[in-house]
Protein backbone atom coordinates (compact mmCIF):
# COMPACT_ATOMS: atom_id res chain seq x y z
CA UNK A 1 0.00 0.00 0.00
CA UNK A 2 1.40 3.33 -0.92
CA UNK A 3 0.50 6.53 0.82
CA UNK A 4 -0.28 9.21 -1.60
CA UNK A 5 -0.16 12.76 -0.46
CA UNK A 6 -1.60 15.35 -2.66
CA UNK A 7 -1.60 19.09 -2.35
CA UNK A 8 -3.93 21.39 -4.00
CA UNK A 9 -2.50 24.81 -4.50
CA UNK A 10 -5.04 27.35 -5.43
CA UNK A 11 -4.38 30.74 -6.92
CA UNK A 12 -5.86 32.22 -3.78
CA UNK A 13 -3.38 30.34 -1.58
CA UNK A 14 -0.42 31.48 -3.74
CA UNK A 15 -1.66 35.06 -3.47
CA UNK A 16 -1.94 34.75 0.31
CA UNK A 17 1.59 33.40 0.60
CA UNK A 18 2.98 36.19 -1.60
CA UNK A 19 1.10 38.82 0.39
CA UNK A 20 2.49 37.32 3.58
CA UNK A 21 6.04 37.51 2.23
CA UNK A 22 5.56 41.14 1.18
CA UNK A 23 4.16 41.98 4.63
CA UNK A 24 7.14 40.23 6.25
CA UNK A 25 9.62 42.18 4.12
CA UNK A 26 7.88 45.48 4.86
CA UNK A 27 7.75 44.69 8.57
CA UNK A 28 11.44 43.77 8.72
CA UNK A 29 12.35 47.05 6.97
CA UNK A 30 10.18 49.00 9.38
CA UNK A 31 11.74 47.25 12.37
CA UNK A 32 15.21 48.07 11.00
CA UNK A 33 14.32 51.74 10.64
CA UNK A 34 12.88 51.86 14.16
CA UNK A 35 15.95 50.15 15.65
CA UNK A 36 18.29 52.48 13.76
CA UNK A 37 16.32 55.46 15.09
CA UNK A 38 16.46 54.19 18.66
CA UNK A 39 20.12 53.16 18.57
CA UNK A 40 21.91 55.21 15.92
CA UNK A 41 25.54 54.40 15.27
CA UNK A 42 27.83 57.13 16.52
CA UNK A 43 29.41 57.47 13.08
CA UNK A 44 25.98 58.27 11.59
CA UNK A 45 25.78 61.30 13.82
CA UNK A 46 29.34 62.51 13.52
CA UNK A 47 29.62 62.06 17.26
CA UNK A 48 32.42 60.35 19.07
CA UNK A 49 32.59 57.19 17.00
CA UNK A 50 36.15 56.10 16.45
CA UNK A 51 37.03 55.05 12.93
CA UNK A 52 40.38 53.33 12.70
CA UNK A 53 42.16 54.87 9.75
CA UNK A 54 45.58 53.25 9.73
CA UNK A 55 48.36 51.91 11.85
CA UNK A 56 51.03 54.51 12.52
CA UNK A 57 53.58 52.43 10.61
CA UNK A 58 51.33 52.31 7.57
CA UNK A 59 51.60 56.07 6.97
CA UNK A 60 55.20 57.24 7.41
CA UNK A 61 56.10 60.93 7.42
CA UNK A 62 55.53 62.36 3.95
CA UNK A 63 52.80 59.93 2.99
CA UNK A 64 49.03 59.90 3.10
CA UNK A 65 46.13 57.49 3.14
CA UNK A 66 42.65 57.96 1.76
CA UNK A 67 39.83 56.68 3.94
CA UNK A 68 36.10 56.91 4.34
CA UNK A 69 34.77 59.05 7.17
CA UNK A 70 31.02 59.36 7.68
CA UNK A 71 30.54 58.24 4.10
CA UNK A 72 32.88 60.85 2.64
CA UNK A 73 36.26 60.46 1.03
CA UNK A 74 38.85 61.74 3.48
CA UNK A 75 42.60 61.90 3.68
CA UNK A 76 45.05 61.27 6.51
CA UNK A 77 48.41 63.01 6.10
CA UNK A 78 51.56 62.42 8.05
CA UNK A 79 53.23 65.81 7.74
CA UNK A 80 56.55 66.77 9.33
CA UNK A 81 54.36 68.50 11.95
CA UNK A 82 52.32 65.38 12.68
CA UNK A 83 49.18 63.67 11.54
CA UNK A 84 46.32 65.72 10.02
CA UNK A 85 43.03 64.60 8.53
CA UNK A 86 40.55 66.35 6.28
CA UNK A 87 37.53 65.59 4.20
CA UNK A 88 38.93 65.18 0.68
CA UNK A 89 35.83 66.15 -1.29
CA UNK A 90 36.75 69.46 -2.91
CA UNK A 91 34.52 72.33 -1.87
CA UNK A 92 34.43 73.60 -5.46
CA UNK A 93 32.65 70.88 -7.46
CA UNK A 94 33.28 67.77 -5.45
CA UNK A 95 36.33 66.16 -7.01
CA UNK A 96 38.61 64.21 -4.70
CA UNK A 97 41.68 66.10 -3.52
CA UNK A 98 44.91 64.42 -2.46
CA UNK A 99 48.15 65.41 -0.80
CA UNK A 100 51.21 66.32 -2.85
CA UNK A 101 53.97 66.20 -0.23
CA UNK A 102 56.60 67.49 -2.66
CA UNK A 103 54.61 70.75 -2.98
CA UNK A 104 53.12 70.47 0.52
CA UNK A 105 49.58 71.10 -0.67
CA UNK A 106 46.36 69.16 -0.81
CA UNK A 107 45.64 69.25 -4.51
CA UNK A 108 42.38 69.02 -6.43
CA UNK A 109 43.20 68.01 -10.02
CA UNK A 110 39.87 69.07 -11.54
CA UNK A 111 40.48 72.84 -11.53
CA UNK A 112 43.86 73.07 -9.83
CA UNK A 113 42.47 73.80 -6.39
CA UNK A 114 45.05 73.89 -3.62
CA UNK A 115 44.57 73.60 0.13
CA UNK A 116 46.90 74.06 3.09
CA UNK A 117 47.76 70.62 4.55
CA UNK A 118 47.91 72.02 8.08
CA UNK A 119 44.63 73.90 8.14
CA UNK A 120 42.61 72.87 5.07
CA UNK A 121 42.40 76.55 4.04
CA UNK A 122 42.24 77.38 0.34
CA UNK A 123 45.66 78.39 -0.97
CA UNK A 124 44.86 78.76 -4.67
CA UNK A 125 42.26 78.00 -7.29
CA UNK A 126 38.48 78.18 -7.35
CA UNK A 127 37.42 76.29 -4.19
CA UNK A 128 35.24 78.70 -2.23
CA UNK A 129 35.96 77.31 1.21
CA UNK A 130 38.37 75.14 3.20
CA UNK A 131 38.37 71.38 3.44
CA UNK A 132 36.71 70.30 6.69
CA UNK A 133 39.12 69.11 9.33
CA UNK A 134 38.71 65.83 11.19
CA UNK A 135 39.74 65.33 14.80
CA UNK A 136 42.04 62.35 15.09
CA UNK A 137 43.82 60.56 17.90
CA UNK A 138 46.63 58.09 18.17
CA UNK A 139 45.96 55.04 20.31
CA UNK A 140 47.89 51.80 20.63
CA UNK A 141 49.87 52.36 17.44
CA UNK A 142 46.93 53.36 15.29
CA UNK A 143 45.29 56.58 14.10
CA UNK A 144 41.57 56.98 14.66
CA UNK A 145 39.25 59.57 13.14
CA UNK A 146 36.94 60.85 15.86
CA UNK A 147 34.66 63.59 14.51
CA UNK A 148 34.48 66.59 12.21
CA UNK A 149 36.29 69.49 13.86
CA UNK A 150 33.38 71.80 13.00
CA UNK A 151 30.16 69.88 12.33
CA UNK A 152 28.25 73.14 11.76
CA UNK A 153 30.69 74.08 8.99
CA UNK A 154 30.32 70.63 7.42
CA UNK A 155 26.53 71.16 7.31
CA UNK A 156 27.08 74.20 5.10
CA UNK A 157 29.00 72.20 2.49
CA UNK A 158 26.61 70.84 -0.13
CA UNK A 159 28.92 67.95 -1.06
CA UNK A 160 28.89 66.88 2.59
CA UNK A 161 25.12 67.03 3.06
CA UNK A 162 24.06 64.39 5.56
CA UNK A 163 27.61 63.72 6.73
CA UNK A 164 27.75 66.04 9.72
S1 LIG B 1 36.44 70.55 -8.09
FE2 LIG B 1 38.25 70.97 -7.00
S3 LIG B 1 39.00 72.78 -7.89
FE4 LIG B 1 37.16 72.38 -8.95
Can you give 16-51 as a three-state secondary structure string?
HHHHHHHHHHHHHHHHHHHHHHHCCCHHHHCCCCCE
User: Best mutation site among 111, 128, 160 for ligand 1, i.e. most ligand atoms within 8 A of its Cβ?
Assistant: 111
- The rounded Å distance from CA 118 to ligand 1 centre is 19
> Residue 115's Cα: distance from chain center in Å?
21
pLDDT of residue 12: 83
- The rounded Å distance from CA 125 to ligand 1 centre is 8
Please report the domains of the chain, with CATH numbers, ordered by start residue: 44-160 (2.102.10.10)
- The rounded Å distance from CA 51 to ligand 1 centre is 27
Alpha-carbon distance of 160 to 65, in angstroms, equals 20
116: confidence class by pLDDT, cuts 50, 70, 90: very high
pLDDT of residue 48: 52
Alpha-carbon distance of 106 to 116, in angstroms, equals 6
For the chain, the average pLDDT equals 86
Amino acid sequence: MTDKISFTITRRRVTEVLMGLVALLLASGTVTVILKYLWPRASDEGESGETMVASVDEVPVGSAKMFNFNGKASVLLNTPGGFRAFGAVCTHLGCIAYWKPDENIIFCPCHIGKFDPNTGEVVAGPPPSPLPGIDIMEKEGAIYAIKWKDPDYVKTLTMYAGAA
